[in-house]
Amino acid sequence: KYLENAKVVGVSVMDPLGFGPVSVTFSSLLGGTPSTRLEFVKLMEKLRPFKNKIKIIVGGSGSWQLEWDEYWRNFVDCIVIGEAEEIAPDLFRRALRGEELPKIVHCKGPEIEKIPTIKNPSVNGLIEISRGCGRGCRFCSETLKERRDLPLPKILEEVKLNIRGGTNGVILHAEDVLLYGCKDPRFVPNEEKVIKLFKAVKKITDNIGISHCSLSAISSKPSLVEEISHILEIGEKMSMFGVQTGVETGSPRIIEKYMHGKCLPFNPNEWCDVVEEAFAIMHDNLWVPAATLLIGLPDETDEDLIKTIELVERLRDYRSLIVPLIFIPMEVCALREERMFTKENLRELHWELLIACMDHAIRWVDDLKESYLAGFKNIPIRLGYQAFAWWVKKAWRRKRGEILGQRHYNVALIKQFGTM
């Protein structure tokens, strides 16, 4: 309704063309067009009738995808790639004055004190506590950026703003929440700083989640997980605590070559033990990881895949979801010149790994369903989730049989993971 009088439209995107690892993986395996692409196209079609009188500026973590596509590169007026706090005000002023805008703008991250405090409640109460990572994984964009922590007063101000605005709790966001305040070059968490953060936020709201944490940080400081669980009253006020993390591979060779910093303060040869120990610590504290695996990295061998399948088997008894994702040479990562891995490149062992991950998910689906529904009193909602879980298990039994019937697998290896 505002477009009639608008002069500039800013669009923030995460995965506009469906080139992100999650979108590529699931669209490749299941078919269809990623929903993120459909929604982006739908939005652009709404803007099309006003194209001659407005300027469209696109930014956000997924804006690099538009640089790949000639049609969308020409459709929008300006594509901003990177952290735009310092350059965005000038771009929008120039657009309002009707000036010509640069087609592509690459930005460097601003100094931490120049990142403004949000003005309104954020989506899902997401509160940024750090930017960047610093571990240097070659397949990732954020890990190549130096990690910078936002000041605690600024974080608390944004927490209060969200709660005053009616948000039911907050999610602390960073590439690794457990490294907040860390100055150690080997990435050992600063327990005092992290505990101070959680205690301060807990005084404002009881409902606290986190976006990401690393398995290395958990294994290096088990007491930190235990203390956070105590502060948040996990097991009392919440039945489980969901987190996102990255396993990526069970191959020390792959770790050494593409993500040496990921395992710090440990060594690549210790990676599988680090992963299992972290999963055990989370399991004991009712943390439930949704963990990613990365398949299709350049020069990945069958031996690398076998080691990853064996690691998935080691994680069998820990409550979790393990999701394999296809390697994407994102424009903003160190491996951007490599070829994209596709469904056609999947080998037999890739399919065995996919089966192992799905078997693992099915093994835990009922347990996770009950934990998730523990706070729901609404009977229709509970029945709906139960029916969905039943359907997923039934559909997987059928699909698993079809896959095994069509391909020549190492049946002895697959049988290790059992049947539903």
Residue 229's CATH number:
3.80.30.20
How confident is the model at residue 378, as a pLDDT? 61
Q: What are phi and psi of 209, to 5 degrees?
A: -125, 170
Residue pLDDT, tens place only, 260-312: 999 999 999 999 999 999 999 999 999 999 999 999 999 999 999 999 999 99
How confident is the model at residue 373, as a pLDDT? 67
Cα→Cα distances 130→16, 36, 143, 213, Å: 24, 26, 12, 12
Are residue 234 and residue 122 in the same domain, yes or no? yes
Are residue 35 and residue 63 in the same domain, yes or no? yes
In a domain, 347, yes or no: no
Q: Does residue 408 register a pLDDT over 60?
A: no
From 294, 312, 341, the end of a domain falls on 341
Whole-prediction pTM value? 0.88
28 versus 257: the higher-pLDDT residue is 257
How confident is the model at residue 415, as a pLDDT? 43
Are residue 326 and residue 393 in the same domain, yes or no? no
Ordered alpha helix ranges (H), 103-220: 152-164, 191-202, 215-220
Q: Are 414 and 310 in contact (CB under 8 A)?
A: no
Tokens 């120039």 belong to residue: 94
How confident is the model at residue 407, as a pLDDT? 55
% residues pLDDT > 90 (the chain): 67
In a domain, 74, yes or no: yes
% residues pLDDT > 70 (the chain): 90
Handedness of CA 360, 362, 367, 371 (dihedral sign): positive
Are residue 94 and residue 217 in the same domain, yes or no? no
Residue pLDDT, tens place only, 175-209: 999 999 999 999 999 999 999 999 999 999 999 99
Residue pLDDT, tens place only, 146-162: 889 999 999 999 999 99
How confident is the model at residue 47, as a pLDDT? 95
From 51, 85, 106, the end of a domain falls on 106
Are residue 177 and residue 233 in the same domain, yes or no? yes
Could you tell me the residue range of the domain that residue 375 belongs to?
353-420
In a domain, 346, yes or no: no
Are residue 230 and residue 363 in the same domain, yes or no? no
Q: Does residue 382 register a pLDDT over 70?
A: no
Mean pLDDT of the chain: 89
Give the β-pairing of 321-326 and 287-295.
parallel
Q: Does residue 37 register a pLDDT over 90?
A: yes
How confident is the model at residue 33, as a pLDDT? 93
Cα→Cα distances 44→39, 40, 49, 90, 95, Å: 9, 6, 10, 23, 18
Per the structure, the count of domains in the chain is 3
153 versus 392: the higher-pLDDT residue is 153
